[in-house]
Amino acid sequence: MTLSMYQASVPVLVHGLTNLKAILGKAQAHAAEKQVDPSVFINSRLFPDMLPLNRQIHIATDTAKGCVARLAGVEAPKFEDVEVTFDELAERIDKTVAYLKEFTAAQIDGSEERTIVLKMRTGPIEFTGVNYLSYFVLPNLYFHITTAYDILRHNGVELGKLDFLGKLG
């Protein structure tokens, strides 16, 4: 059995974002229980030169929606990056997951050799579809989910590896 581009992208992205939303839910509950202003978590960062929690969520969702759009050869919707509460961030994740679920295997499969060009600050980078997914999207998504997890864990939210991994099987 081979793994299709659809199978390697949409369900994996949905799973990661679903886990991220659950992690944010635990953080929101923790803030309420400990009577901590939620903005403390939303604006936290691991180091001064790193982005805060809300930006980690913005980038993770942008990465996911951009991935499926590029693989399918369509324009991704633009999100304004204005979410600053747990509820707003959860809504953004929901909106992204709903967008991902609109795509069918027929739209994504066969994109292995599609040329994907990303406009980066340092200049454009060109990928094949499979390399874009494997070497840019998935590592980037996991980087930002992990960083969000680490920001929250560092701030005392009780999270474990299974929160990151989510439902298995």
Q: How confident is the model over 44-68, as pLDDT tens digits? A: 999 999 999 999 999 999 999 999 9
Computed over every residue of the chain, the mean pLDDT equals 97
Give strand pairing partners of 124.
119
C-alpha distance from residue 93 to each of 5, 36, 49, 59, 82 (Å): 22, 23, 25, 11, 13
pLDDT single digits (tens) 102-138? 999 999 999 999 999 999 999 999 999 999 999 999 9
Q: What is the C-alpha to C-alpha distance for residues 120 and 154, in angstroms, rounded to an integer?
A: 30
Q: 43: closest CA among 159, 163, 155? A: 155
The pLDDT of residue 1? 67
> Structural domains in the chain?
5-164 (1.20.120.450)
Question: Residue 131: in which H helix or E strand, if any?
Answer: helix 129-131
pLDDT single digits (tens) 141-164? 999 999 999 999 999 999 999 999
The pLDDT of residue 23? 98
| Residues 133, 8 contacting (CB under 8 angstroms) | yes
pLDDT at 13 over 70: yes
The pLDDT of residue 8? 98
